[in-house]
Amino acid sequence: MEVSLTDTGGLNRRLEVAVPATEVMREVQQRLKQLSRTARLKGFRPGKAPIGVITKQFGDQVRSEVLNDLMRSSFAQAVTQQNLRPAGGPRIEPIALEPESDLKYAAHFEVLPDVKLNPIEALAIEKPVATVSDADVDTMIENMRVQRPIYTPVERTSRDTDRVVFDYQVRIGGKLIEDGDVKNAQVVLGARQTMPELEEGLKGVSAGQESTVAATFPANHPNARVAGQAAELHLVIKAVEEHSLPMIDEEFFRAYGVEQGGLEEMRSEVRKSMERELAGAVRNRVRVQVMDALFRENPVALPQAMIDEQVQQLQLDTARRMGIRDASQIPPRDNFLEPARRRVALGLLISQIVQSNSMAVERERVQERLNELIESYPDQDQARRAYLQNQDAMRGIESTALEEQVIDWVLARATVTEKVMTFKEMTGFGGHGHDHDHEHGPASDAGPEPHEQMSNI
């Protein structure tokens, strides 16, 4: 096999390969002989057709398969011979494919860049230092009360913070909409849970009252029949309920899964949950700083093939999160070019650190990450088995663990300064209105928010 390599600029390479005709012919003959042992041709018993007949019947197909296989295998051999590291699959340019001639082709591809890290000691990292105070726990428990409001029927007109329970019918152009009747809809006034016109029409109403409200449904309403349509809503008010907060008592504790130990145990469980969130927030902030610094201080030539692959992956991930199934609705690739470049660059830099330091993923760290993931599951043993049986999920956990090892390696060498911060500064949690009941409650059984019922029509 003859090989010649040409540098075509940047990371691009052209590899020209020639495979002797004798090798091609030998492989073709071997496959035809194998085929003759099993081929079923009309007029011949199985495996008894002459090789000439087999060649006439299958020769072109077999030769085509041989050429494809030889191009793949010879390319792999040539890459190894030339000590190359392709960044992606090659684009094959056939040069000579004629029978009884040498197989010749050119492979065009990109190679991985040589990655050289600048001194890690020059990186400046600010590490947050924060604790969960008693006041933070007090604020969190108060927020948990806010997240479990009590609504009590009252004999008066509605006002802000009240919950209004009502039935309604939808008419568009004077005609009732099929399946447009909704029973026991609920809206909390002032919470901006529904259309502004409807919320305004529910202010100052009392139980038993009927009225009609003109409103325009949003264009993205889940019911296509009413989306973007101007409509009339005929309302029948069933109840006005006053808002209050639950007492901090045994019933409140049980709502969050604390069966024994009262307030002391509740505070202990809330503190543990907050400390887990705080540790995650610190870890994430440090991670972002390390990645930003590595990316900023270590420019790397990037293979276009790897960028294109990451762009496609980001597009697919975005489409999946947005529930997009129509390929024409996927956001354009230009939106993802910079994030893709960053991903590729950091992947190359992290790989270089791992390889140059002979790092192997630490099993203890993998177990820690797995334990964190299954903490919120009711049956942790079942969740653990499910993760362990999912190879893709475990690869993701191992990748995260290895990345953390790289971050620790950087932190051990970079210039790190500590900054004292509060729990609020680190997590963004600062009191009422921030939905943490599902995060900090030991076991939450909260149902859907009342406004979710408005999507029924």
Whole-number pLDDT of residue 453: 33
Q: Mean pLDDT lowest for which of 63-72, 175-184, 273-282, 416-425? A: 175-184
Helix (H, G, I), strand (E, B), or coil: what is residue 367?
Answer: helix
Q: What is the pLDDT of residue 443?
A: 37
**Residue scoring higher pLDDT (54 or 449):** 54
> Do 113 and 341 meet the contact criterion of CB atoms below 8 Å apart?
no
- pLDDT score at 162: 95
Q: What is the mean pLDDT of residues 268-283?
A: 92
Mean pLDDT of the chain: 88
pLDDT of residue 442: 41
Q: Looking at the predicted structure, is the pLDDT value of residue 203 above 60?
A: yes
- Closest to 30 measured CA to CA, from 60, 71, 56, 66: 66
- CA 457 – CA 437 distance, rounded (Å): 29
Name the nearest CA neighbour of 375 among 310, 450, 279.
Answer: 279
pLDDT higher than threshold 70 for residue 269? yes
pTM: 0.71
Q: What's the whole-number mean pLDDT along residues 307-317?
A: 93
Q: Convert 208-227 to b/e letters by CB count within 10 Å (16 or more is b).
A: eeeeebebebeeebeeeebe
Q: What are phi and psi of 69, to 5 degrees?
A: -65, -40
Specify the DSSP class assigned to residue 357: T
The pLDDT assigned to 430 comes to: 58
Domain definitions of the chain by residue range: 2-110, 120-138+251-445, 150-244
Which residue would you say has higher pLDDT here, 367 or 446? 367
Identify the weakest region by mean pLDDT among 376-385, 418-427, 435-444: 435-444
The yes-or-no verdict on residue 143 having pLDDT over 80 is: yes
Architecture of domain 120-138+251-445: Orthogonal Bundle (1.10)
Q: Residue 35 — pLDDT band, cuts 50, 70, 90? A: confident
Give the pLDDT band of residue 78 (cuts 50, 70, 90). Answer: very high
Q: What is the pLDDT of residue 323?
A: 83
Predicted confidence band at 452 (pLDDT cuts at 50, 70, 90)? very low
pLDDT band at 440, cuts 50/70/90? very low
Bridge partners for 92 per DSSP: 107
Is residue 169 within 8 A of residue 212, CB to CB? The reply is no
| Distance, CA of 149 to chain centre | 33
Tally of CB atoms within 10 A around 422: 17
Superfamily designation of domain 2-110: Trigger factor ribosome-binding domain (3.30.70.1050)
- Give yes or no for residue 40 having a pLDDT over 90: no
110/439: higher pLDDT: 110
pLDDT digits (tens, 9 = 90+) for 361-411: 999 999 999 998 998 888 999 999 999 999 999 999 999 999 999 999 999
**How high is the pLDDT of residue 448?**
31
What pLDDT does 178 receive? 78
Q: Which fold has domain 150-244?
A: Chitinase A; domain 3 (3.10.50)
Residue with more model confidence, 404 or 456:
404
**What's the CA gap between 388 and 140, in Å, rounded?**
34
Who has greater pLDDT, 49 or 130? 130
